[in-house]
Chain A
């Protein structure tokens, strides 16, 4: 299915002409850049590229990617398998200009003024939003970036010893930390892009 979609995208790119092709080429390079930065900085992590949920006839100029840390988890009394225990989802959309990016961010913040938290150490502008403000939306030049983290702490080695509250607390701290770390990685990649 994935292959079919890829073929469809390629066909679409050929039909849409050089502009779309240039966009895809930029997303390709962007993915490789972020992937390299992350995998160099975070041993054991592996990044893969996803596909945006768009209209069937168009492909958004949007990079969907995820980076994951895996571990062995016990499924049954005898069986184990490899699972992702941490997953950071990153979407990057190159906009027309930095001004358009700023406009977007301000709109986003203004729509939910009580549900966002400004993060000052992530240029150009960054806000935490969503649960625990652990999701980050930021802009860097003309790039609009969403980053969020899933922490499957149930598969942590010491998970059995944790209460539900402790698990939730760890999820929160992991999400806050990893999202912030990966935001820095994304910014580093965009700065050198």
Chain B
């Protein structure tokens, strides 16, 4: 039977070091500390709001063990007017058991907390953290009078008086005190006014043992990124980004101030800063599982919180590109431009479709406990160029890098990528447009564009979210495509695409493939053009076909080329593309054709009526050679260079008229003059 005591004045029961300023009603406090095994305090995986159940069983003490103060500050046991072992073999020494009984072999009995029965001596039990589920046993209840004896129990929760109860023993021997289990956050109990008379009317000592309680001490791992306790949960984080974990104590009251924290981790991680405060920062160093554990220690009690972090990379939801058909753009063409260009699609200012449109959708974990603003994805562009240009009579080869001519691929998007985005949201889109194109410049006579491209979606981590100087990069996915073709300036006087190296379909889709590696690159993309190995080189612009035709117009027709005529005669040569022999033949043919044209004869009547025509001009041959000097070299060889003039006249029967023109247009002086 338990009867609440209503008239008990709330008060602190006994002083403890941290409450030293408080007064105590008892004149003398004699504390004795009870040895308990460490096993008695073993803690299991903690729930956020409770510690591990504790059992204090004095039977485990060695018989006759001297009790010292080594148990402070876990639990204080104290008694007023305590007379340990009075009349026992060890006098007044403080032993766990000093009361001599006839059944000495019952060591459990002997090692219980003994209270000298006096009717007024109290036993105090004070917990340094609030406890729940408190119970204990009262032993040695006399088998004498009925009703049996009783004891008063005063209960304090959170250091405030909660209530007093009189417990009437129900039977002799051991009586369990269990009603305290329903009272949470008990910090102190006072066991007072024991009544346990024997048949002779003397009080018989009561013993207290088997204190069971659960320290109400817990620690929760939390993150500002998600709500609630993370204990026992698995949360995702992006690889390499800061993960800030906090330890929050439970219950959050004055008892949980102070104490110490110790964080420990397993798995691929690195610690940023200290691991001995309530907050800790880590980064995952690889994908996979990282376990985080925090241990909070106070007054010898320990609470732990543990969670699991799944370090992951962003998911590539989609990664694809749309490549539009190759186009010749230029003035007056449907794909308008100020210059002639060979390009992908029809970029601005022309209407869509445009070049290569890249789109990527990335997804991060939701929720994520890593700092999202440190993680991002960027699009990186690599190029491998195998372009060739017939430029002014030179066949030039493009190389990707000036410094590393043999490097196959170069970064084309450095230092800034084509696009980048941090994980402000868990899902975002990246888009980029690549306007691949090559100028068909004045000197371009034939072009081979053969370019391989790789576009990578690269996960990066940096302190400020910038893709520059990222501390971690991981390739997620790539697109690969080929662009180019053979473009010739053809006899119709226009640039024409002869061969597509990329797809010729109006629209072509390129899909990403997963990869964790990027092709090696060296340096920055260089603008270099080098003379293609094994090909002749020239510094004379007259070796370029446009200017060569312009020279013929100027020298023989005494005017500038008209638009169509200039393009036509130029294209008659440039259709040879990269065939130097073909070019040589065409140049000679066309130069000779200019000599025979009516417009030349109009300006130079002496070139009319060549041999084999009616009314043949008998001095045609002399005039022809002289005009080669006058028109092609723009000088009169007379009278200072008669030897030369006569030499070439003598050679005419062997060379023929075309051969004579061929000699002059390939002479050093012709090149020097027109340059």
Contact = CB atoms under 8 A, between A and B. Distances in A.
Interface of A: 2, 5, 50-58, 60-62, 64, 66, 68, 73-81, 83-84, 87, 89, 91, 93-95, 100, 104, 107-108, 115, 130-131, 135, 137, 144, 146, 148, 150, 152, 154-155, 160, 164, 168, 171
A66, A79, A81, A155: most-surrounded residue (chain B CB, <10 A):
A79
A101 to B, nearest CB: 10
A80 B527 contact: yes
Interface residues of B, number: 52
A75 B389 contact: yes
Contacts of A51: 668-669, 672
B541 A84 contact: yes
B16 interface: no
A52 B575 CA distance: 32
Given A53-B629, A74-B439, 15 more contacts: A51-B668, A52-B641, A61-B640, A79-B398, A79-B527, A79-B529, A84-B675, A89-B674, A89-B675, A130-B634, A131-B554, A144-B640, A146-B634, A152-B541, A155-B442
Contact of A83 (B339, B526, B541): B541
Interface string B658-675: 000000100111101111
B237 interface: no
Interface stretch (B58-66, B211-219, B643-651): B643-651
B670 A53 contact: yes
B104 interface: no
A79 B555 CA distance: 32
A131 B643 contact: no
Contacts of B639: 95, 100, 104
A83 B546 CA distance: 15
B225 interface: no
A79 B442 contact: no
Interface of B: 338-339, 387, 389, 391, 396, 398, 437-439, 441-444, 525-529, 541, 547, 554-555, 558-560, 563, 603, 629, 633-641, 643-644, 646-648, 664, 667-670, 672-675
| B contacts with A: majority SS | mixed
Contacts of A75: 389, 391, 396, 441, 443-444, 529
Contacts of A80: 527
Contacts of A107: 638
A100 B639 CA distance: 9
Q: Taking each of B387, B396, B528, B554, which has the highest tally of chain A beta carbons within 10 Å of its own beta carbon?
A: B554
Contacts of A135: 634
Contacts of A171: 560
Given A60-B644, A76-B389, A160-B338, A104 B636 contact: yes
A131 B119 CA distance: 139
Contact of A74 (B441, B643, B644, B667): B441
Contacts of A168: 560
A150 B527 contact: no
Nearest to A135: B634
11 contacts: A60-B640, A60-B641, A68-B675, A74-B439, A74-B441, A75-B389, A76-B387, A83-B541, A108-B636, A135-B634, A137-B636
Contact of A131 (B338, B438, B442, B559): B559
A148 B554 CA distance: 11
Contacts of B636: 104, 108, 137, 146
A76 B385 CA distance: 13
B669 A154 contact: no
B558 A131 contact: yes
A10 to B, nearest CB: 16
B150 to A, nearest CB: 101
A137 to B, nearest CB: 8
A79 B641 contact: no
B635 A146 contact: yes
B342 to A, nearest CB: 10
B643 A78 contact: no
Q: Nearest 6 pairs between A and B by C-beta?
A: A55-B647, A50-B672, A53-B669, A78-B527, A60-B641, A93-B640
B338 to A, nearest CB: 6
Contact of A89 (B389, B560, B634): B634
Contact of A95 (B396, B526, B640, B644): B640
Nearest to B554: A131
**Residue among A52, A74, A83 with most chain B CB within 10 A:** A52
Nearest to B648: A55
A173 B442 CA distance: 21
Contact of A53 (B398, B437, B603, B664): B664
Contact of B647 (A2, A56, A152): A56
Nearest to B644: A54
Contacts of B560: 131, 168, 171
A154 B438 CA distance: 18
Given A77-B439, A95-B639, A130-B634, A58 B644 contact: yes
Contact of B675 (A53, A66, A77): A66
Contacts of B675: 66, 68, 84, 87, 89, 150
B113 to A, nearest CB: 92
A94 B559 CA distance: 31
Given A66-B673, A95-B640, A53 B559 contact: no
Contacts of B526: 78
A37 to B, nearest CB: 20
Nearest to B631: A130
A118 B632 CA distance: 23
A115 to B, nearest CB: 8
Nearest to B675: A87
B257 to A, nearest CB: 67
B422 to A, nearest CB: 31
Given A75-B443, A80-B527, A89-B673, A54 B641 contact: yes
A142 B623 CA distance: 26
A79 B528 contact: yes
A128 B527 CA distance: 43
A92 B634 CA distance: 12
Given A68-B675, A83-B541, A89-B674, A77 B640 contact: no
Nearest to B566: A164
B541 A77 contact: no
A64 B672 contact: yes
B644 A55 contact: yes
B439 A76 contact: yes
A130 B668 CA distance: 21
A39 B217 CA distance: 95
Nearest to A61: B640
A52 B398 CA distance: 36
B566 to A, nearest CB: 9
B407 to A, nearest CB: 16
